[in-house]
Structure 1
Amino acid sequence: MVIISFLPTLLFRPPSSLFVTAMSILSCLLLAFGGYNETKGKHNQYSKFFGVGTSKDQEKLASRNGMLLLYTPALLIALVSLIAFYDRDQGHDLRLVMVISALTLHFLKRVFEVLLVHQYSGYMSLEDVVPMTLSYTTSTATTIYAQYLSVSSLEPSVDLKYVGAMLFLVGISGNFYHHCILSNLRKKGDREYKIPKGGLFDLVICPHYLFEVLEFVGVSCLSQTMYSVSFTFGTICYLAGRSYATRKWYVLKFGGKFNKDVKALIPYIF
């Protein structure tokens, strides 16, 4: 009860929108369930987990094409929204523009990495690409829509948007840095996985996920809507499950070569 009574100081009042309410619940539950499945060996079929726990005789896409399909629709939605809502003549809501700008930068970076940073060694299951694309697209659209509905609402008494901007920038920078480390592990044409070193890889096997969590927490603080918080919580659950599975994969593949003190997601803890 104490937490519930404290929420109005941190979040906008939830809009009277059945769609946003339903998406808040559904997104959180589906992502959390996805994270649980990862810990049980039921993986989304991409990267090192392609073909693990399922037949390789499935419809598939080259990883680069699959990743582009994941991120491009969400990027387009964010870009169109930024153009639509940022109108110098009519004025604009700063928080709304900050949220859309963060989402645009997030997916622009992802597309840039797909094209120019990542090294690929496999495929993505089309069966997983379609729902993941829908998830990125609908979550981006819903985040923006929920923020738009809050524009005329009373602001939360605690303003977190500048804290959110700082967390987002730290998160996106750290995520990009560790993606570059992963990319530099392989020479062109090399398909073998190696134990990553450098940055926070000496403490956790998925620091890129850790910084992605910071990104989403930053967006939640920028937004301060119930939907963004629900989606972020679900995303944390999914990435925790995925990082747990990733650490387990490295232990099985490399055995004694893998430092057992390296955690999955949170240094020294998990």
Structure 2
Amino acid sequence: MGTSMFAQVIMYPPPPLTSYITVMALVVVVLEAIAGILESRGKHLRLSKFSNVGTKKSALKLSGKMGMLTAYTPSFLLSLASFGVFPNEGLRFLLLKSAFTFHFFKRICEVLFVHKYSGPMFVDVAIMLSLSYFIQTTLMIYAQHLTQGLQEPQVDLKYIGIVIFVVGLCGNFYHHYLLSKLRGDGKKEYKIPKGGLFNLVICPHYLFEILGFVGVSCIAQTMYTFFFTLGSAIILMGRSYGTRKWYLSKFEDFPKDVKAVIPFVF
């Protein structure tokens, strides 16, 4: 089976007059691939342990909690609003809107009640993240809206997508919880994470985040969402690789057999 034929089996056909969606999908993959390569080479987004990399001390800052709320809240509100903007467009669309809403609701709850931050977040980083999440969520929701009236993919993946999404959501939350238990209140030190899949990979929370995006792609079955998942996987793998190098440089007793994000492989 050729690549194009396989794509037709698992994805909606491209809607008419939507070449800009195709272009944006390609742009997403290229930009996120570049970002992933830069992360793996030490050019990190200024978050968490990398927050002071290449930053001027005079840069405007928010608290870590406020910065992440700024990043996630607009997309959460957008996801909620999509129920009213695009009502009664079928079960698949309802599942997709629900997945986005739960995803960002979980993120906000983790910011408020789980995460413990080692430092502030820079305003430009918070705004960049907020715009990125908002634009990507908007395009994925709109791409799904454009499938109305089109022929369904030959293979229906939405139900398996729900399972994969829930596994990703739960696994991501559990490993975020384990990370939060490493640091006492008011403490800023880093330790080698233990428990869960941390004994196999240093970033299992990214592994489950990728799984969550795979689940969203299976629910949506649109080209844009599959491309977004590919780009997200590349950047998270790059960041995981950079994180593993950071731990190796900071801890002499870091176990060398612990991989970056894929157990036993990478």
Name the TM-score, length of structure 2 as normaliser.
0.96
2:138 is the alignment partner of 1:144: no
The count of aligned residue pairs is: 265
Note the aligned Cα RMSD (angstroms): 1.3
Task: Tell me which residue corresponds to 1:254.
Answer: 251
**Separation (CA, whole Å) in 2 of partners of 1:69 and 1:14:** 33
What is the CA–CA distance in structure 1 between the aligned matches of 2:36 and 2:124, rounded to whole Å? 17
- The 5-angstrom pairing of residues 168-247 of structure 1 reads 168-247=165-244
1:27-176 matches, cutoff 5 A: 27-86=28-87, 91-176=88-173
List structure 1 segments (4+ residues) > 6 angstroms apart after TM superposition. none
Mapped pair 1:11 → 2:8: no
Quote how far apart the aligned CAs of 1:176 are. 0.3
Q: Given residue 123 of structure 1, which amino acid in structure 2 is its aligned partner?
A: P
Shift, 1:54, TM fit: 4.0
CA–CA distance in structure 1, aligned partners of residues 257 and 56 of structure 2: 33
CA distance in 2, matches of 1:24, 1:85: 22
Q: Structure 2, unaligned stretches of length 5 or more?
A: none
Shift in CA distance, 269/56, structure 1 to aligned 2, threshold 3 Å: farther
Does the 8 A contact of 2:89 with 2:148 survive in 1? no
Aligned to 1:267: 263
Give CA deviations for 1:41-80 in whole Å, capped at 9, x if unaligned: 1111010001124444422222111101110111010001
Residue 252 of structure 1 deviates from its aligned partner by: 0.5
Contact 2:9 2:154 in 1 (8 A): yes
Aligned-pair CA distance for 1:196: 0.6
Task: Specify the code of the residue in structure 2 equivalent to 1:77.
Answer: L
CA contact (8 A) 2:164 2:211 kept: yes
Q: Which amino acid aligns with 2:160?
A: V
Secondary structure at 2:202 match in 1: coil
- Unpaired segments of 5 or more residues in structure 1? none
Distance 2:54 2:242 in 1: 12
Residues 118-167 of structure 1 deviation map (CA, whole Å, 9 limit, x = unaligned): 00111222232222211100000100000000021000000000010000
How high is the sequence identity, in percent, across the aligned residues?
A: 51
* Whole-angstrom CA distance in 2 between matches of 1:83 and 1:176: 28
Q: Distance in 2 between matches of 1:19 and 1:81?
A: 21
Q: Deviations over 1:86-120 (max 9, x none)?
A: 4xxxx441101101100110000000000111001
One-letter code of the match for 1:14? Answer: P
Q: Please give the secondary structure, in 2, of the residue aligned with 1:78.
A: helix
